[in-house]
């Protein structure tokens, strides 16, 4: 009997331990739910409180004269909290939004995947006109409410590549910066991308009391716990809006790039990539469709040719050869070289156009003699102050890098390309270590492996205008909150060429646009235009037309580069377009006697 009683007593303790264990588990679970987990707290709060994210207006963008280039227009996103979206007339909501029932199901599944208890976008970018009526009846659809946002608008269809555009964030953006949430917008390109953190402002939060019908009953504690949104900073950029519009008009139906710089500051006055597009095309609900259309366009209007297209600079490169040669002590204003239809050495021949011979330095710039600069290049590379040709080449290349060629500027416009100034190592690899100045003679006239962007060519005009220095080209001029712009934009960059070596070159450039020069069509009454033509060889078709210039000669206000693809000689298209832009900027108008030239440039169609 004693043994049987012990057996039952043990079973009693086991059963008791089981119930105690279950009780402890329930207690632990209760503590987790009540004190540690936010799930039920969120569920309860979302039934009485709504944390409404207030998206700040994005900062505006003005041109150098205070004219508005980018502003905001209000739109509304329809938000949904899936847990609350019950017992609603889905067909009626679909009708009001203009969507199919399948679209409703797809959107709701996406929202649930994000969170059943947190709000996410159900339908984005509803116009203020359409949202006005929906605001009045939204209480009939529990779990749905509106959030105000703003979209970018452009008063004129210009400067798309420069200003850039905004788009919806992806998961990578969200992971990198906690500021963003699903459905937010971020700068994708141009100024919008570079100055995103200034333009975006700071989000706010408004806590609202809502009833069980999703109707707002007022602020929580009279807004005591609200956080005010802070508007993004406004930007003033260096662009002259009217000049930009005029330059784009001249470049219509042409492929190429235009960059104009204020030499005294490095501020970009004009940046044109053609063909271009209306920046309003990449705004709102039509953005995705238009982006695909632009991307598939064979003329590549999305490509920013002013920053990323690298071309042979052609004869515009002769100017830097003249400067380096003088600095190195192998070239002087009185130095003359003959030209019998080009440069000849052994079996090597570099052709040249017909002109008087021999020429001195100033005349060589005016006449753009190939033979002259082949000799100048050889004298630099083969300079006997260096122990071998490779050392001379390295020194030559060092000057070019200081001038901004073959590298990216620390500019505030994204996606800039570096162009190319080939290295000694490159030629060692190509020619197995055995090469000389004749092997690379095409570099003398801006051909061969040399590549430069329109931005780099405009900077060349700027540092010649400044007689030896430049400021890193940039777009920003002023920030509304008083913040200083990057100091690299206000620091002089020296080319390594003494100021006294520029005057002979500049005199030659002034004669380029006078009778007897290669770009007399670019002459302007009342002040000198100092320019240089270039014809960049194109192995795949018609040559490219290039022109760089600055004006006036003394106290220059504008430096410019125009590069037009497949358009022939530099004096045919690039030079007249440059001179018209210069005259428009300095005078504010085009004189009557140049109206015929202006019309010819505007109507010229080089795309075919």
What CATH number belongs to 241-291+306-603? 3.40.710.10
**What does the alpha-carbon distance between residue 18 and residue 13 come to, in Å, rounded to a whole number?**
9
pLDDT in tens, 501-518: 999 999 999 999 999 888
Tokens 């609900």 locate to 285
Q: Which residue has the higher pLDDT, 571 or 369?
A: 369
pLDDT at 1 over 50: no
Across the chain, mean pLDDT equals 90
Q: Are 149 and 76 in contact (CB under 8 A)?
A: yes
Position 38 scores a pLDDT of: 54
Q: Which CATH architecture has domain 49-237?
A: Alpha-Beta Complex (3.90)
Checking if the pLDDT of 94 tops 80, the result is yes
Contact 259, 271 (CB under 8 A): yes
What gap in Å lies between CA 80 and CA 109, rounded to an integer? 11
DSSP assignment string, 110-125: HHHHH-SSS-EEEEEE
pLDDT interval class at 32 (50, 70, 90):
low
pLDDT of residue 132: 84
The model's pLDDT over 424-475, given as tens digits with 9 standing for 90+, comes to 999 999 999 999 999 999 999 999 999 999 999 999 999 999 999 999 999 9
Question: Is residue 450 within 8 Å of 422, Cβ to Cβ?
Answer: yes
Of 143 and 328, the structure prediction assigns the larger pLDDT to 328
Higher pLDDT, 150 or 256: 256
3-state secondary structure of 205: strand
Closest alpha carbon to 528 in 513, 508, 544, 542: 513
Report the run of H or E that residue 402 belongs to, with start and end.
helix 389-402
Mean pLDDT in residue range 6-14: 61
The distance from CA 184 to its chain's CA centroid, rounded to whole angstroms, is 21
Collapsed DSSP state (helix, strand, coil) of residue 600: helix
Strand order in the sheet with 204-210: 49-54, 204-210, 216-219
State the pLDDT confidence band at 27, using cuts at 50, 70 and 90.
Answer: confident
pLDDT at position 241 over 50: yes
Contact 58, 199 (CB under 8 A): yes
What confidence tier does 47 reach under pLDDT thresholds 50, 70, 90? low
Rounded mean pLDDT, 250-257: 96
Q: Phi, psi at residue 265, to the nearest 5°?
A: -130, -20
The mean pLDDT value for 239-245 works out to 98
Three-class SS state of 542: coil
Secondary structure of residue 287 in the 3-state scheme:
helix
Cβ contact 352:369 at 8 Å: yes
Q: What number is the average pLDDT over the span 113-119?
A: 85
Alpha-carbon dihedral sign for residues 347, 352, 357, 362? negative
Q: What is the mean pLDDT of residues 226-238?
A: 93
DSSP code of residue 311: B
Domain 49-237 and domain 241-291+306-603, same fold? Reply is no
pLDDT in tens, 320-332: 999 999 999 999 9
Give me the phi and psi of 85, to 5 degrees please.
-85, 75
Helix runs in 32-143, H state only: 39-48, 90-97, 101-114, 128-137
Q: What is the pLDDT of residue 44?
A: 52
Domain ranges, ordered by start, for the chain: 49-237, 241-291+306-603
Q: Which range among 23-37, 121-135, 329-343, 391-405 shows the weakest confidence by mean pLDDT? A: 23-37
Which of 39-48, 224-233, 386-395, 508-517 has the weakest average pLDDT? 39-48
SS (H, E, C) 329-380: CCCCCCCCECCCCEEEECCEEEECCCCCCCECHHHHHHHCCHHHHHHHHHHH
DSSP string, 447-494: -TT-BB-HHHHHHHHHHHHTTSEEE--B-EEEETT-PPPPGGGSSEEE
Give the rounded percent of residues in the chain with a pLDDT score beyond 70.
Answer: 92
């Amino acid at each position: 009997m004693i043994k049987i009683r012990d057996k039952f007593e043990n079973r009693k303790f086991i059963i008791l331990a089981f119930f105690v264990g279950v009780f402890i588990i329930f207690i632990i679970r209760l503590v987790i739910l009540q004190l540690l987990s936010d799930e039920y707290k969120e569920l309860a709060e979302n039934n009485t409180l709504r944390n409404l994210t207030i998206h700040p207006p994005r900062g505006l963008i003005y041109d150098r004269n205070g004219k508005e280039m980018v502003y905001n227009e209000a739109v509304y996103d329809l938000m949904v909290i899936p847990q609350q979206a019950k017992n609603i007339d889905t067909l009626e909501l679909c009708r009001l939004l203009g969507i199919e029932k399948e679209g409703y199901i797809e959107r709701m599944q996406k929202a649930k995947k994000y969170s059943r208890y947190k709000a996410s976008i159900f339908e984005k970018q509803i116009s203020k006109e359409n949202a006005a009526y929906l605001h009045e009846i939204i209480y009939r659809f529990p779990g749905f409410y509106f959030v105000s946002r703003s979209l970018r608008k452009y008063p004129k269809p210009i400067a798309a590549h420069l200003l850039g555009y905004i788009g919806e964030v992806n998961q990578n953006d969200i992971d990198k910066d906690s500021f963003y949430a699903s459905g937010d917008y971020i700068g994708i390109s141009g100024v919008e991308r570079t100055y995103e953190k200034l333009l975006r402002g700071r989000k706010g939060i408004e806590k609202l009391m809502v009833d069980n019908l999703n109707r707002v009953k007022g602020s929580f504690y009279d807004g005591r716990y609200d956080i005010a949104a802070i508007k993004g900073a406004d930007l003033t950029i260096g662009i002259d809006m009217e000049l930009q519009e005029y330059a784009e008009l001249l470049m219509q139906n042409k492929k190429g790039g235009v960059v104009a710089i204020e030499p005294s500051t490095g501020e970009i006055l004009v940046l044109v990539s053609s063909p271009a597009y209306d920046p309003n095309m990449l705004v709102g609900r039509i953005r995705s469709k238009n982006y695909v259309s632009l991307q598939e366009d064979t003329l590549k209007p999305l490509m920013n040719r002013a920053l990323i297209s690298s071309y042979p600079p052609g004869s515009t490169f002769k100017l830097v050869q003249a400067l380096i040669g003088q600095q190195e002590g192998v070239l002087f204003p009185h130095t003359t070289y003959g030209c019998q239809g080009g440069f000849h050495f052994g079996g090597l021949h570099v052709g040249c156009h017909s002109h008087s011979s021999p020429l001195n330095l100033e005349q060589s710039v005016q006449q753009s003699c190939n033979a002259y600069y082949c000799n100048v290049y050889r004298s630099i590379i083969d300079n006997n102050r260096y122990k071998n040709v490779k050392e001379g080449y390295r020194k030559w290349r060092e000057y070019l890098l200081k001038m901004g060629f073959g590298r990216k500027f620390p500019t505030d416009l994204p996606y800039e390309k570096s162009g190319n100034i080939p290295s000694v190592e490159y030629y060692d690899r190509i020619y197995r270590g055995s090469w000389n100045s004749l092997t690379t003679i095409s570099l003398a006239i801006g051909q061969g492996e040399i590549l430069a962007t329109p931005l780099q060519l405009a900077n060349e005009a700027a540092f010649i205008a400044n007689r030896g220095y430049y400021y890193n080209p940039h777009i920003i001029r002023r920030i509304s909150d008083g913040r200083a712009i990057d100091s690299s934009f206000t620091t002089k960059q020296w080319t390594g060429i003494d100021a006294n070596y520029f005057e002979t070159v500049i005199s030659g450039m002034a004669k380029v646009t006078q009778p007897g020069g290669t770009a007399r069509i670019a002459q302007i009454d009342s002040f000198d235009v100092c320019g240089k033509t270039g014809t960049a060889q194109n192995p795949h078709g018609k040559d490219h037309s290039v022109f760089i210039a600055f004006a006036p000669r003394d106290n220059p206000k504008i430096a410019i580069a125009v590069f037009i693809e497949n358009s022939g000689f530099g004096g045919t298209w690039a030079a007249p377009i440059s001179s018209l832009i210069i005259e428009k900027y300095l005078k504010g108008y085009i004189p009557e006697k140049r109206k015929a030239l202006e019309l010819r440039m505007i109507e010229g169609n080089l795309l075919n």
